[in-house]
Structure 1
């Protein structure tokens, strides 16, 4: 198949026009810019995940090995807060696209509002019978990404 003909076909040209219109929209370009800002965080965690998986596949480490768990920690930490970073990035990018001042302040406000919605304080009973107030971090990662964009 000739790829030049594929890229010159009518459906691909229509998709390119649609993509161009979406990128010129301030909201869509803000979401795109905010999500691109999270790429460093995602790549940092992915490097450790790849290293630990390669060591596991080659038989050097088992998943129960403490070194394997240590290598997975950066991945879990970065992917566990990617929604939080996205909420900051999208708000920052949107403020910049609207040519307003206070990009960083709006990013932090968005991040704190995201935490209020997606990480409510919960009372947890510990093994010794005492209770502690803790944040539920279940939705700060990829599972809360759509909420972060809103």
Structure 2
């Protein structure tokens, strides 16, 4: 099982931001957003504190670690406002996609100070992990593949 520190090291070391194209965030970003959502409080940080201004990238990759399981969301079209969310999870039913999309819609609305809703998709990954501990490796693999595409 991978820790947040290991995942963050791999993301910062192997998936550098590509100006105007893609940004892979570290694991703390979704955690921060989810905590603010749970309390329905305005985040203390602005969107620029969430590892850059997402509106300057076409794609943002956001790792998610909830209940000791890893998955991630690709947010597409951050630049033009018509966001698409793709939830990539190596375990069927590992994370509740509807909850994750609700958190992201709420964060976009709060941070943008206007109503922003993305179109959401849950993506069934192939291959799927065959045990309960490899989710972090699968998540890093898919983040890397999408980032390098």
Higher strand share: 2
Considering fraction of residues, name the structure with more helix: 1
Tell me the TM-score normalised to structure 2 length: 0.28
